[in-house]
Structure 1
Amino acid sequence: MPELIFYFCEVQNAFKVYMVIFKSHQIVQAFNMMDSDIFIGESEEHKRITIKAKLLFIKAFKVYFWLCNAGFACNSIVPFISFLIFRTKLYLPVCNYYFLSDETRDHYFWYILTYQTYCVYNHMMYNISIDTFMSGLILMGLAQFRALNDSLKNIKCVSKNKITDEAEERRLRTELILFSN
Structure 2
Amino acid sequence: MGYQQIDCFDIHLKILRILGVWPHDNPSIYYIYFSRIFVFTFTVLYVVIYTMNFYFLPQQLEVFADELIFYFTNVGALSKALAFIFLRDKVKKMLFMLESEIFQSDDPEEIKLIKEGKEKSNFYWKITAGLSVSANTVNVCLPLLVHIIFSVELEFPVCRYSFIPEKYEAMFAYPAYFYQSIGITTHMLYNVNIDTFLLGVMFLAMTQLDILDRKLRKVTDVCINPDAARGSVDKFIDDQNAVLEIIKCIKHYDAICEYCKLIQDAFSEILFVLFSSGSCKICMCLFRFTMPATTGYFVFLTLYVTVMTLQVMVPCWFGSRLMDKSSQITIAAYDCDWTPRCRRFKSNLRLLVERANRPITIIGGKMFLLSLGTFTAIMNSSYSFFTLMRHMQSR
Scaled to the shorter chain, the TM-score interval is 0.7 to 0.9
The answer to whether 1:6 aligns with 2:70 is: yes
Superposed displacement of residue 36, structure 1: 1.9
Could you tell me whether the CA contact under 8 Å between 1:2 and 1:94 is conserved in 2?
A: no
Q: Any stretches of 5+ residues in structure 2 without a counterpart?
A: 1-64, 229-234, 256-395
Cα deviations across residues 114-156 of structure 1 (Å, max 9, x unaligned)? Answer: 1111221222222222222212111111111121122122213
Q: Any stretches of 5+ residues in structure 1 without a counterpart?
A: none
Larger RCO, structure (CA 8 Å, separation 6 or more) = 1
Could you tell me whether the CA contact under 8 Å between 1:6 and 1:94 is conserved in 2?
A: yes
Amino acid at match of 2:191: N
Against the structure 1 CA distance between its residues 148 and 162, is the aligned structure 2 distance closer, same or farther, given a 3 Å change threshold?
same
Against the structure 1 CA distance between its residues 43 and 101, is the aligned structure 2 distance closer, same or farther, given a 3 Å change threshold?
same
Instruction: Name 1:65's counterpart in structure 2.
Output: 129
Q: How many residues align?
A: 181
Superposed displacement of residue 178, structure 1: 5.0
Superposed displacement of residue 11, structure 1: 3.0
Moved over 6 A (4+): none
Superposed displacement of residue 75, structure 1: 0.6
Could you tell me whether the CA contact under 8 Å between 1:40 and 1:50 is conserved in 2?
A: no
> Aligned residues: percent identity?
24
Instruction: Name 1:103's counterpart in structure 2.
Output: 167
Amino acid at match of 2:241: E
Instruction: Name 2:243's counterpart in structure 1.
Output: 170
Amino acid at match of 1:175: K
Q: TM-score, normalised by structure 1?
A: 0.84
Could you tell me whether the CA contact under 8 Å between 2:212 and 2:249 is conserved in 1?
A: no
Could you tell me whether the CA contact under 8 Å between 1:97 and 1:105 is conserved in 2?
A: no
The answer to whether 1:147 aligns with 2:211 is: yes
The answer to whether 1:51 aligns with 2:51 is: no
Choose which of 182, 188, 194 in structure 2 pairs with 1:130.
194
SS in 1 for 2:126: helix
Q: TM-score, normalised by structure 2?
A: 0.42
- Supply the RMSD in Å over aligned alpha carbons: 2.4
Against the structure 1 CA distance between its residues 170 and 130, is the aligned structure 2 distance closer, same or farther, given a 3 Å change threshold?
closer
Superposed displacement of residue 159, structure 1: 4.6
SS in 2 for 1:156: helix
Superposed displacement of residue 112, structure 1: 0.9
Against the structure 1 CA distance between its residues 177 and 40, is the aligned structure 2 distance closer, same or farther, given a 3 Å change threshold?
closer
Cα deviations across residues 6-25 of structure 1 (Å, max 9, x unaligned)? Answer: 32223323432343122222
Instruction: Name 1:80's counterpart in structure 2.
Output: 144
